[in-house]
Amino acid sequence: MNTTHLNNGIHQLTLASGVKLSFQSFGQDYLSAPVILVNHPLTGDSRVTGAFGWWNDLIGEGKSIDTRKFAIVSFNIPGNGFDGILIDDFETWNAGTIASFFHEGLRLLGIGHLHTVIGGSLGAGIAWEMAALFPNFITNLIPVGGDWKSTDWMIANTFLQKQILATNPRPLEIARMHAMLCYRTPESFKLRFNRTVNEDIGVFNVESWLMHHGKKLTERFQLQAYKTMNHVLGSIDITRNGESFEEIIQSIKASIYIFSIDSDLFFPLSEDQETVRRAKEVGVTINHQIIHSDYGHDAFLMESKKVVPLLHPIFN
C-alpha cells in the first residue's frame, strides 16, 4: 500500500489508475473496529469531526456515531482542492467513478466491509453509487438529503452553474449566489430577512447575505475544484449502465435508510417518496425518515441535530 502523509491528519493513497485519493480517519483503528465511511457534500471535505468538523453534531466521542466505538473514514473527492490537487479531465468522470475510487481506497487500506456509508447531498449520491456498484460491501446505506440520480431539475441547475463558471468575470462568487437560492427556501429567507435593509451599504439584507456567501467561497475554494464538484453533482445515476432501478435495488444487500428534508428544493422529498414506492413494489423495504425544516436542502448542515435521533436505532 502506497500511503503518503500530507498534513493536519490527511493521508494520501495512489490508486491503480494513478489518481491520488486523500483521506482522514477518526476514532478507532479501521483495521479492527466497525468502519463508517462519511461522504462529504459539494464544498465540504474530509474534516467530518473535530475542530473544523462539519458534522460534529453526529460524529464524535459520545455522539450518535461514536468515535469511541467506530472507525470513521472520510475521503476527499479527488479534485476538491482540499489536498492541493486539482483535476483537468474531470469531465471524463461521474459519481460512479468517485464511488469506485472510494471502494478501491478502502480495499487498499485493508477494509473489506463497511458497517455504514453515510453522506449528505452529493455525498449521499456517491453513497448510493457505492451500494449499487458493490452491493455486498455495505451493511447500512444512509443517504441524507440526496438521491440515487440527478433529476432534470438538478441537471438544469448544474448546467446553469457551468455556464456561470465558464463565462462570468466573478465565476465563483456569482455561482455561489445562485446555488444558495437552491440550498435554502423562500420561507427561510422571509424568516431571516423579511425585506429588511442593510443601512450601512444601502441594499436589502438578503442581497448583502448573498454577496457575503459569494465572497466567502472565493476565499476557500478554487474555480477548477468547484467546476469538478458541480460536474460530479450533475452526473449521479446508478442506472447509467443499463440496469433498471428495480434490478439494482433488489441486488443491494445493505439496509437502506433514506433521510429526506421536507422543504428540500435541490433533492425534493417527492423523489425519495417515489424511490420508496418503487422499491416496495419489487419487495424491498426502505426505512424512510423525514426531517421537518424551513431551511431547505441545507438543513442537513444547519439543523444537523435533527438527524441525530434518526441515527439512534442504527448505531445503538
pLDDT digits (tens, 9 = 90+) for 19-51: 999 999 999 999 999 999 999 999 999 999 999
The pLDDT score that the predictor gives to residue 7 is 63
The pLDDT score that the predictor gives to residue 8 is 66
Per residue in 108-128, pLDDT (tens digit) is 999 999 999 999 999 999 999
The pLDDT score that the predictor gives to residue 286 is 98
Dihedrals phi, psi of 4, to nearest 5 degrees: -115, 135
User: Above 80 in pLDDT, residue 220?
Assistant: yes
Average pLDDT over residues 236-265: 98
For residue 316, name the pLDDT band (cuts at 50, 70, 90). Answer: confident
Domains and CATH numbers, the chain: 3-151+238-315 (3.40.50.1820), 153-233 (1.10.1740.110)
Q: Say what the pTM is.
A: 0.96
Average pLDDT over residues 182-191: 97
User: Above 90 in pLDDT, residue 226?
Assistant: yes
Per residue in 261-307, pLDDT (tens digit) is 999 999 999 999 999 999 999 999 999 999 999 999 999 999 999 99
Return all residues near 160 (Cβ < 8 A) that are at least 6 apart.
178
